[in-house]
Each structure stands twice: as C-alpha cells, then as structure tokens.
Structure 1
Amino acid sequence: MSNDAVIIEQRDQALWITINRPDKRNAINAGVVEGIRTGWKQAHDDPSVRVIVLTGAGDKAFCAGADLQSTGAAFSFDFSKPNVDYADLLRLAQNATKPSIARVNGTCMAGGMGLLCMTDMAVAADHVLFGLPEVKVGVFPMQVMSLLQDIAPRRLINEWALTGEPFDAPTACDAGLLNYVVPGGELDAKVDWLVKRLTDKSPTAIRRGKYAMRAIASMSFDESIAYTESQIALLAMTEDAKEGLKAFAEKRKPVWPGK
C-alpha cells in the first residue's frame, strides 16, 4: 500500500517506508504522516514483517521537517482537538512492538528529527546535516523534544533548539542520535547488515522486550525490577524460548515459531 507521498514495500522480512517527496526535500505534510502511520500499522498486522525501515527518496534529504511552502498549512490546527496527527504518529511509534531503523540518506531537520527519534536505531550517511531550526521561523521543536530528551544530552539539546544551528553526522552519533555513520555508498549495506541481525532473532523476545522497555521507562528501580522479574518468567514459557534453548543444546540455528 502506498499514497503519493509515501511508498510502502516489503523487502524480504523488512517493510520499507519511503517518504516520496524528493522535490520538497521529503517535507512532512498530511499525506506523509498518514503514509507512515499506515506503514507502521501494516507492519504490525503482518507476521511476516520483522523490522521497519524508514527513509526518504533520493539522496538529498531524509526529511527536512514540515512543509512550509503551503502557506500556513504546516501550523494550522483544529484547536477543538487535544492532539495532532504528527504527535499521534510519535505515540504510535513509541508503543510499537516491532523494531525500526531510520536510514538517514540526507538532510534531517525539525520534524524530520522527530521521525529519526521515533525509530529504535539509525544509520546515517556521513554527509548528512541535522538540526532543529524552528526558532528561525518563530516556532519551537515542541513535539520533537518529547522524544529527544531521552536520547541526547540536555546541554546539546539546549544548544540545538535555542540556536537553531545545524550539526553534522559525527556530532549526531556522539550525541546518541545514531548507531552508525558510514560513507554514502555504504549506507544500504549497513542497513541490510543491521536488518539481518534483527530478523534472525526471536520475534517473540523482541516483541515482549520492546513492550517491557516501554513499560519500565517511567518506573523507579524497585518498580521496574519487580515488573521485569515477572516478565522473564512469562517469556520463558513461550514457544520461542523453548525452541531457543533446545537449539542451543543441539548446536543448531533456531527455527522461530514466533509464539
């Protein structure tokens, strides 16, 4: 399934979601938000999908943020609604139980930083520039901050958000926004390498593990240790756990039932 703004395609066990507005630097509009949301839900409804890859079309931009060319539309809200579609997309990703990778092929700015932060892992080409330039147009990266504050150091976030100045891929990696920075010609190979290291693992362990990580994020140590000791007991009863232990004893690769 795809719309004009987003292409959704399955490649083996990975569902690729590509923002398809290269002439607009893959800027976010309503179609982009809806297309990514559709892809995330499609991935979770399909047991053959093990990982989500989010990227942008072309080689110039991953996502440059909100589409500011549509006069006023980017920040036009229905104030009778307590939430907005972009925020709901970030909520959806936060509660997802399948792993996701951002393939950052080009410029990643503003709302694009939110899309980066909503994934579990990220690989970027070494020429990519990042930034939170919202203050330059009189707004602020409000929704992005909700995810960014748990990833990057506070002092760096202060600088990025308050000055609006861009920073490079090595800086983004050092700050924890990225797992890997590679030459542009090696980007796909590194993403494929990471995908393979997810798809050969237990889907049940990953699913329940992501659920648990999300649950304990706001817990104290005493709360989280009590929760996780019950979760490991439940996980041990799954078919994947039984197959994994059996395969280990038999010195063979496991065949995951995914249950």
Structure 2
Amino acid sequence: MTDDSVVIEKRGQALWITINRPDKRNAINAAVVEGIGRGYRQAHGDAEARVIVLTGAGDKAFCAGADLQATGAAFAADFSKPNVDYADLLRLSQNATKPSIARINGVCMAGGMGLLCMTDMAVASDAALFGLPEVKVGVFPMQVMSLLQNIAPRRLINEWALTGEPFDANAALAAGLLNYAVPVAELDAKVDWLIARLADKSPTAIRRGKYAMRAIGAMSFDQAIAYTESQIALLAMTEDAKEGLTAFAEKRKPVWPGR
C-alpha cells in the first residue's frame, strides 16, 4: 500500500513503514502522521506481521522533523480539538502490542527524534546525525520530551533541548537512544538480524509483555509486583505458554499458535 508520503509493505514477517519524502529529508506533514498511524494499525490487524520497522526513504535522512517550508503550518493547531495528531501518533505507539524497530538511515532531528523514541528498539547508521534544534526556530521539542525523558539521562536532554546542537550516532548510542550503531553497509543486515530474533518468539508473550511493561511504567514497586504476579499466572494459561513448555520438554522448536 502506498501514497505520496508513506509506503507500507510486508517483507516476510515484518511490516515496513517508510516515510517517502526523501526530497524533503522525510519531513513530517499531516500525510506522514496519518500514514505511520495507518501502518501501525495495519500491523496490528495482521496476525502474520510480527514486527514493525519504521524508516525513511533514501540514504540522507530518517526524518528531519516537521516540514517548515509552509511558514507557520507545521505548528498550526485547531484549538477546538483537545488532541494534536502527532501527539495522538505517539499515544498510538505507546499502546502498541507488537514490537517496533526504528531503522535510522540518516538525519534524525526534532519530530524525527519523537518517531525514534516511539519505537521499542533502534538501529542506526554510524553516520547518522541526531538533534533537537527547535530552539533555533523559536519553538521547543515539547511532545518529543514526553517519551525522551524516559530514555535518555536528564543532563543530556537538557543540553540537547536547550542548545539545539546536533550529536552523532556514538553519542546517541551511549545515551541509550539506540540499541546498535553500525556502518551504513551493515545497517540492513543488522535490522534483519533483529527482526529474526523477534519473529521466532511467542507473539502472545510479546503482546502481553508489552502491555504489562506499559502498565507498570507509572506504578510503584508494590503496585507493579502485585500486578505482574497476576499477569504471569494469566500468561501461563495461554496456548503459547503451553506450547513453549511442551516444545522445551520435547527438545524441539515451538510452533506458536499465537493465542
């Protein structure tokens, strides 16, 4: 499925969502937000899709942030609506129950940093460049901060957001924004390797596990331990758990029912 701004395609057990505006450094506009959201919903409606991969077209940029070409349009808002579409996309990602990987093939700035943060894992080219340059145009990475604050150290976030200066893939890796930074020639192989490590695992365990991780994020230890002890009991009753234990005992690879 394609449109002018986003390409959605199934590659094996992964559903790839590609921002398709390389001439604009894959900048975010309304169509990009809609397309990524559509991709997430399509993946969750497809039992065979085990992993979501989010990337940008071309070899220059993952996503350079909001499209600033139309003056004022990037930050225009309908104040009759309580929600902003980009914020709703970040909400959608946090409630997702399929694992997601960001494939960072180049520049990742501003709102692109939010797209990076909304995924579960990230693999980047070691030539990629990152940053929160919003202060340079008189705004601030408000919505990005909602996810970034739980990933990177506060002192680094302060520097990135207040100075607007870019940083490289090694700094992003050290800060916890990335799982891997690899030479550009190895980027796709590393993404494929990570997809394979996810796709052969229990979809039920991943689904319920992501749901539980999201739920306990705002809980105290006492609340979280009480919640998770009930969750493991429920998980043990699923068909996937029964198949996994049987396969282990029989020394064979499990065949996941996905239930």
Within the alignment, does 1:47 sit opposite 2:47 as a pair? yes
Q: Which amino acid aligns with 2:83?
A: N
Q: CA deviation at 1:3?
A: 1.6
Shift of 1:2: 2.2
Aligned residue for 2:8, secondary structure, equals: strand
The one-letter amino acid of 1:54's match is: L
**Corresponding residue of 2:201:** 201
Q: Secondary structure at the match of 1:68?
A: coil
2:79 corresponding residue in structure 1: 79
> What is the aligned-residue identity percentage?
84
The secondary structure found in structure 2 opposite 1:155 is helix
Query: How many residue pairs align between the two structures?
Result: 259
Number of the residue aligned with 1:257: 257
Q: Which residue in the other structure is 1:128 paired with?
A: 128
Provide the C-alpha distance between the structure 2 equivalents of 1:143 and 1:73, rounded to a whole number of angstroms: 17
Q: Match of 1:179?
A: 179
State the distance in 1 between where 2:187 and 2:68 align.
Answer: 29
After the TM superposition, which residues 2-17 of structure 1 pair with which residues of structure 2 at under 5 Å, given as runs? 2-17=2-17
Any idea what SS the aligned residue of 2:253 has? Answer: coil
The residue type paired with residue 212 of structure 1 is A
Give, in whole Å, the separation in 1 of the partners of 2:12 and 2:255: 17
SS of residue in 2 equivalent to 1:226? helix
Aligned residue number for residue 100 of structure 2: 100
Q: Which runs of 4+ in 1 moved over 3 A?
A: none
TM-superposed deviation, 1:48: 0.7
After TM superposition, the structure 1 = structure 2 runs for residues 104-253 of structure 1, keeping only pairs within 5 Å, are: 104-253=104-253
Q: Deviations over 1:115-162 (max 9, x none)?
A: 000000000000001000000000000000000000000000000000
Q: Aligned equivalents of 1:66 and 1:110: distance in 2?
A: 7
Name the CA distance, whole Å, in 2 between partners of 1:21 and 1:70.
15
Name the SS for the 1:83 alignment partner: coil
- 1:134-192 Cα offsets, whole Å, 9 max, x none, are 00000000000000000000000000000000000010000000000000000000000
Match of 1:63 in 2: 63
Report SS of the residue matched to 1:69.
coil
User: Aligned partners of 1:7, 1:173: CA distance in 2, in Å?
Assistant: 28
**Residues of 1 paired with 2:107 and 2:85: CA distance?**
23
Give TM-score, length-normalised by structure 1: 1.00
**Cα RMSD for the two superposed structures:** 0.4
